[in-house]
Structure 1
Amino acid sequence: MGKKIYENLKSFAIALILALIIRTFIVQSFHIPSGSMIPTLLVGDFILVDKVTYHFREPERGDVVVFHFPLNEDVYYVKRIVGVPGDKVQVKNGKLYINDKPCKYQFVGNYSYEEKGNFYKGNLYYEFLPKREGGVKKHLILKTGIQGDNTEVFVVPKGKYFMMGDNRNNSYDSRYWGFVDRDKIVGIARIIFFSWDGQKHLPRFNRLFKIIN
């Protein structure tokens, strides 16, 4: 009987150690509490973050990342990288400029959502972010107003990154609080493994195991 208890405790300890190793070095789960990344991520999405990739390459424009919020490092934020070290970033009349060149946009359609009792209506666009090695990263953004549509020019320092939410007029991001240090980036968001619609009190089955673009 004592040997069986010992073996069970040993198995549990090994499983616990493996879980801690995976969480610390390989992958970690996060919950999305706000709509700042709509339409890419919805309130109630649960995502898996890859903590390995950035050991082999640097973060790139277009990556959706989780990081420690610079003004309170106990809080995690998720945003999209739009500026890498050395970039000049500016928003003019709602359009993102990278190194003095405007990103290309393509209208997709109308979009509406409700969050915390507030109803928002706007337009979806594809935004084409230039990649450093050439080509572009195509992803969706949402425009619902004009907040944050005109900014100063930000020059991204060495070792830092400029973040923006895909919900461009409802995102508290680098336009307001500045840059994110490289070592404060936890990892790149890869997949939505579960999603809960808090208004309908039902899972969003169509979002399960969806790859994050």
Structure 2
Amino acid sequence: MFIFALFTIPTPSMERNLLVGDYLYVSKLHYGPRMPMSVGIPFIQSWSVPGVEFPYTRLPGFGEVERGDAVVFNYPPDTGPIDRRMHYIKRVMGMPGDSIAVRDKVVFIDGKAYPLGYGMQQNWLVTKENARYQLPRPRREELAISSIQPTSDARIVRMVATPDAIKEIADLPWIERIQPEITQQPQASLYPGDRGYTRDNYGPIFIPKKGATVELTADNWPIYGPVIDRYENRNARQMTESTFAIDGQETTEYTFQQNYYFVMGDNRDNSQDSRFWGYVPEDHIVGKAVATYFSRSPSSVVPRFSRILRGIDDASVFREESVMTQLPDNVTP
């Protein structure tokens, strides 16, 4: 209960660093064990004694959440006691107090670019000199390319791959050009909604930090209002275009009571993450994923022996010399 937890990866949102069928060891000691927030039956995640909830308390840990950590947390939009909500795993991109934005798929934090890191993947548009050319299956498997799909142009295919794989493919003599697939259509399902954001061009938005005070405006209320009301447990509402009330008291500002994080999947174009449902509050964090203790593809009975007892990359995924800065001339970063 206080030292570790075991989880499995059910979806491809963290590929290629974490695969469907990976079984994870999650350390609760890194950030400090979170005390129970409800009463229920052990190992029965979805049920608890109705009406019995305890305030958030975390014992001291030997570390803190850092950018690049793969963290397991309770899914914030769920209902019910926090520690009974569904478990998710994503990578921390934005820290408390950061301003985060995405421009043409590249994450910017306080103006600094964080290109796609080691083992992360996204959609690319690969233009071939001739539609007949195909990447052999053994080579595709060797490069761990998740999928190759046709487009309306016979010479162009949509490829889900890491920057390392794209660098190798770009050297093939029959490859004319490679560029990221940029989504142009605004998506209303993104957080906070109705901002014209896409998954590839998002923000900037400020990530709340404990003790930080923000001025409340009609423009930022859709961002901070739900956080104050849902995660800070305050009765927050907008009274008029320019006035707001918290616990019945009219105010023009608010000071946050806990830290928040912005998380994203390593498989950037196949991940429901903070771009879609917002921040992860500190009290929702379960622990840090540190290793895979077992792994098996759902389509096979044979374990993936190379992934057993394998450590999980954290901040090292953001290598100082990113592959994205070393791509050949025929690749648009």
Range class of TM-score, shorter chain:
0.7 to 0.9
1:85-124 → structure 2 map (5 Å cutoff)? 85-104=96-115, 111-113=144-146, 121-124=159-162
Displacement of 1:165 in angstroms is: 0.3
Which one of 33, 50, 61 corresponds to residue 10 of structure 2?
33
Aligned residue type for 2:93:
V
Displacement of 1:63 in angstroms is: 0.4
Matched residues in 1 for 2:70 and 2:104: separation? 24
Which whole-Å deviations, capped at 9, do the CAs of 1:105-147 have from their partners, x for residues lacking one? 5798954226xxxxx8323137xxxxxxxxxxxxxxxx98445
**Residue in 1 aligned with 2:312?**
212
Q: 1:169 to 1:188 in 2, by over 3 A?
A: same
**Residue in 2 aligned with 1:59?**
65
Displacement of 1:203 in angstroms is: 1.0
Q: Quick check: which one's helix share is greater?
A: 1
1:129-148 → structure 2 map (5 Å cutoff)? 145-146=181-182, 148=199
- The count of corresponding residues between Structure 1 and Structure 2 is 169
Report runs of 4+ in structure 1 exceeding 6 Å deviation.
106-109
Matched residues in 2 for 1:144 and 1:37: separation? 18
Matched residues in 1 for 2:275 and 2:162: separation? 21
RMSD after superposition:
2.3
Q: 1:53 to 1:184 in 2, by over 3 A?
A: same
Matched residues in 2 for 1:107 and 1:175: separation? 21
Aligned residue type for 1:177:
W
Matched residues in 1 for 2:182 and 2:74: separation? 27
Aligned residue type for 2:160:
G
Displacement of 1:180 in angstroms is: 0.5
Matched residues in 2 for 1:201 and 1:58: separation? 38
Q: Quick check: which one's strand share is greater?
A: 1
Say whether 1:197 aligns with 2:297. yes
Q: 1:107 to 1:51 in 2, by over 3 A?
A: closer
Structure showing greater radius of gyration is 2
Aligned residue type for 2:65:
P
Displacement of 1:104 in angstroms is: 4.3
Which one of 173, 184, 189 corresponds to residue 273 of structure 2?
173
Matched residues in 1 for 2:283 and 2:117: separation? 34
Displacement of 1:57 in angstroms is: 2.8
Aligned residue type for 1:155:
F
Matched residues in 2 for 1:172 and 1:106: separation? 18
Which whole-Å deviations, capped at 9, do the CAs of 1:129-174 have from their partners, x for residues lacking one? xxxxxxxxxxxxxx98445211121210011000000000100000
Which one of 143, 148, 151 corresponds to residue 202 of structure 2?
151
Give the share of equivalent positions with the same residue, in percent: 40
Structure 1: 5+ residue runs without aligned partners? 1-23, 115-119, 127-142
Matched residues in 1 for 2:115 and 2:75: separation? 29
Matched residues in 2 for 1:105 and 1:162: separation? 16
Which whole-Å deviations, capped at 9, do the CAs of 1:61-80 have from their partners, x for residues lacking one? 00000000001152000000
Q: 1:51 to 1:90 in 2, by over 3 A?
A: same
Aligned residue type for 1:85:
P
Which whole-Å deviations, capped at 9, do the CAs of 1:10-56 have from their partners, x for residues lacking one? xxxxxxxxxxxxxx110110010000000110000000001001123
- Would you say the 8 A contact 2:146–2:160 is kept in 1? no
Q: 1:27 to 1:166 in 2, by over 3 A?
A: same
TM normalised by structure 2 equals: 0.47
